[in-house]
Structures are given as structure tokens and as C-alpha cells.
Amino acid sequence: MDLPMFYNEEDEWKKVMLMYDSALKEVYTKIEILNNEFKLNHQYNPIEHITSRLKSPQSIAKKIRHNGRELTVENIVKYINDVAGIRIICSFTSDIYRIADLIAKQSDVQVLKVKDYITCPKPNGYTSYHMIVSVPIFLSNRMVNTKVEIQIRTIAMDFWASLEHKIYYKFEGNAPERIRKELKECADVVAFLDHKMLTLNEEIRTYSHEDELQQYKEILSESFQNMIKDSYGTVVDDDNQVENEQILNDNMNQPVEDKKNDSTTDNLEENFQRNIDNIINKSTIQTKNDNSQTEKEGHAIYEAEEQAAIGKEKASKETEKENKTKKNDKKSEGRHIKFFGFR
């Protein structure tokens, strides 16, 4: 492609990275919203944690050259699909497909490509679910659909992939045959572990009676949210406010000569003022009632505290009298003992 002389590849690269960074934030926010919704509304949250990254220039250059292409900004945008990447870690394999489906259903998300390495693992044993999606990025003068790669894995899959990556990095991608075989066996163990944990989780759920109650609560909540969903994106004006604003607008637009002789306007102004006075009077009456109620409650508290103090004083006197009586009885008993000659 012939470019004009003022073309600066470094500046264009910065603009490209702005697009990928913006797309990464868009997709991350969508997933974070799903995560927060699961935490709030559902008994079970399938998302363990979320990570995101922009591919480093070194990794991009290595990958484009590995594919046998020239290192240009155009080739990077055209052929590298994982410049912006997000990884979602789940508890069970069933959660992976659930989350993928929720992302794909969003109206402004376009699924460009899917690679299901769970049903068809790589030869080395790697398992994960990859989606390449595009989201619209709105700039000051245009909208650009920008792609992001989403990887969805279980905890066990992520554990194996992380260790496998570190091992291969040490051998620069040429690990000995024995180590590759051991890694493949570990991958099979991980797959078995995921299946076993999923089966165990489903069995545990059959013993839980809280699911039915939770489902009922979610149905009620969904019905209520459907009822108010239109109000989230609309503004509802009070009738009086609309009427008063219309009056003020009419007065502002009316010529000065008409205002002097227009009795209708005067009546409307009087009604407007009357409405304001009524609101102020109601507010004043309510304030007085609240103050009166507060004063009554204060008197009641004071009387209760006074009665408690009197009762406490009375109880103290009775206790003192009782102690004095016991003391006198002990003295009398001592005199009797002494009288009978006991020491």
C-alpha cells in the first residue's frame, strides 16, 4: 500500500493501541457487570476472577514474524487477533459455556470466531474456550469495530496452562519428548479432575432445597425489574412542574405590552403562586407536627427516667433497711451465745 510522505508509523501505532485499549476496557466492563450481577442476584457466581492485558510489542513482533509476514502496523491489525485479550476463570466446565453464551447475546457484541479446545483439545493437551469478538468504539468523528480475544477456562485448566507455558518458555518451545509426554498426561488428569468436580457439584445440588426458594426469589426480582426497566432510561416530570415550566416559558415569550393587559397570565401567575404557598404551608404544618411529636416523645422519656430514678432510690432504701435488720439480728444472736457460756 502506497502511503503519503507525511505518514508516521509510530503515530499510527499509538492510535492503533488506543483502539485496542478502548476495546479491552469495553469488554472488561461488560464482564465485570455480569460478575457483579451474579454476586448480587444469584446464589452462585460462576466467575472466579478476570484478568486482561495488551500484548507487548515484543510478543506481537515475534508472532507476526512466526507467521511469515512483514512487521507493519497494517499487518498487525489485520492478522493478529489477540492484541487485546481477556481471560475469565470459572469453577466448572459448564460455567464456561454459560458465560460465553451471555457474552454472545449482548446486542453490541459481534462474535467473529470461536475455538473450542475443550471438546477438541490441542495435541499437547491444552484446553480452553476462545472467542474473538468485536465491539464498537466511538471516537469524536467515527465509530470503529475493534476485536478482542476472550479466553474462558476452569481453575484447573488455567493451572496447567500457566505451568506448561513456563516450562516451554525455558526450552524456547523445544521441550524434550519425555517432558511433553508428562505434560500431556497431566492435562488428562486435569480433564478428569474437572469432570469429577462437575459431577460432584451436580450431585450436591440434588440434595439442596435452597435452589427452589432461590429460583422463586429470582423470578419475583426479575418481574419487578422488568416492570421498572423503562424508568432507568427515561425522565418523568411532575405534572405541576411541567405546568409551571410551561407558564414560565409562555411568559418569557410573550411581548411586554400583552403581559400588562393579559388577565389570563395574571390568573396563571396567581395559581402558580398559590400552589407554591400551599406547598410551603404543608411543609410548615408537617414540620410543626414533627416537632410536636418529638416534644411529646421527649416528655415521655423524661417521665420514664424520673420514675426509674424514684424506683431505684426506693429499692436502695429497702435494701439498706434489710441490711440493718440482719445486722441487728446477728448482734442479738451473739448476745444469746455469750449468755449460754459459749466462746
H-helix or E-strand spanning residue 32? helix 9-41
Least confident of 43-52, 59-68, 149-158, 303-312: 303-312
User: Sign of the C-alpha dihedral, residues 92, 94, 100, 105?
Assistant: negative
Which residues, 6 or more positions from 239, have their beta carbon under 8 angstroms from its beta carbon?
A: none
The gap between the terminal CA atoms of the chain, to the nearest Å, is: 126
Cα dist. 54→73, 77, 93, 276 in Å? Answer: 15, 13, 26, 58
What the block records as the C-alpha cell of 337 is: 451465745
Among the ranges given (32-36, 115-119, 243-247, 336-340), the one the predictor scored with the smallest mean pLDDT: 336-340
On the question of pLDDT at 103 being above 90, the answer is yes
CB 38 within 8 A of CB 44: yes
pLDDT for 247 beyond 70: no
Residue 253 DSSP class: H
Q: What is the DSSP string of 35-90?
A: HHHHHHH-S---EEEEEEEEPPHHHHHHHHHHTT----HHHHHHH---SEEEEEEE
Q: What are phi and psi of 166, to 5 degrees?
A: -65, -40
Count CA within 13 A, CB hemisphere, residue 197. 16
Higher pLDDT, 63 or 283: 63
Question: Of the segments 8-17, 164-173, 203-212, which one has the largest average pLDDT value?
Answer: 8-17
Which grid coordinates belong to 122? 490441542
Q: At 215, phi and psi to the nearest 5?
A: -65, -40
User: pTM of this prediction?
Assistant: 0.64
What residue segments make up the domains of the chain, in order of their start?
9-208, 266-325
Between CA 153 and CA 314 the distance in angstroms is 75
Between 223 and 90, the more confident residue is 90
Distance of CA 44 to the CA centre of its chain: 14
Give the model confidence (pLDDT) of 67-80 as tens digits. Answer: 899 999 999 999 99
Summarize pLDDT for 159-205 with one digit per residue, the tens: 999 988 888 777 766 778 888 899 999 999 999 999 999 999 888 87
Alpha carbon distance 271, 290 (integer Å) = 28
Is the pLDDT assigned to residue 62 strictly greater than 80? yes
| Euclidean distance between CA atoms 216 and 249, whole angstroms | 50
Angle at Cα 273 formed by Cα 270 and Cα 276, nearest 5°? Answer: 150
pLDDT band at 229 (very low <50, low <70, confident <90, very high): confident
Given a cut of 60, whether residue 258 has pLDDT beyond it is no
How confident is the model at residue 173, as a pLDDT? Answer: 67
Rounded CA-CA distance 191/159 in Å is 12
Cell numbers standing for residue 145: 469495530
Predicted confidence band of residue 92 (pLDDT cuts 50, 70, 90): very high
Report the CATH fold assignment for 9-208.
Answer: Beta Polymerase; domain 2 (3.30.460)
For 167-179, letters b (16+ CB in 10 Å) and e give ebeeeeeebeeee
212 or 191, greater pLDDT: 191
Q: What's residue 340's pLDDT?
A: 37
Most confident of the ranges 116-125, 303-312, 313-322: 116-125
Which among 125, 116, 122 is positioned nearest to 186, based on CA atoms? 125
Can you name the residues that pair with 87 across neighbouring β-strands? 51, 151
pLDDT digits (tens, 9 = 90+) for 262-302: 555 556 556 656 665 665 565 556 555 655 665 655 566 66
What phi and psi values does residue 47 have, to the nearest 5 degrees? -90, 120
Q: Give the C-alpha separation, 157 to 85, whole Å.
A: 17
Looking at the chain, the whole-number percentage of residues with pLDDT higher than 70 is 65
* Per-residue pLDDT band at 230 (split at 50, 70, 90): confident
Report DSSP state, residue 106: S
| CA–CA distance, 331 with 152 (Å, rounded to integer) | 90
Q: Please, which residues have CB within 8 angstroms of residue 201's CB and are 6 or more apart in sequence?
A: 91, 92
**Cell 429499692 sits at which residue?**
315
The chain-wide mean pLDDT, for the chain, equals 79
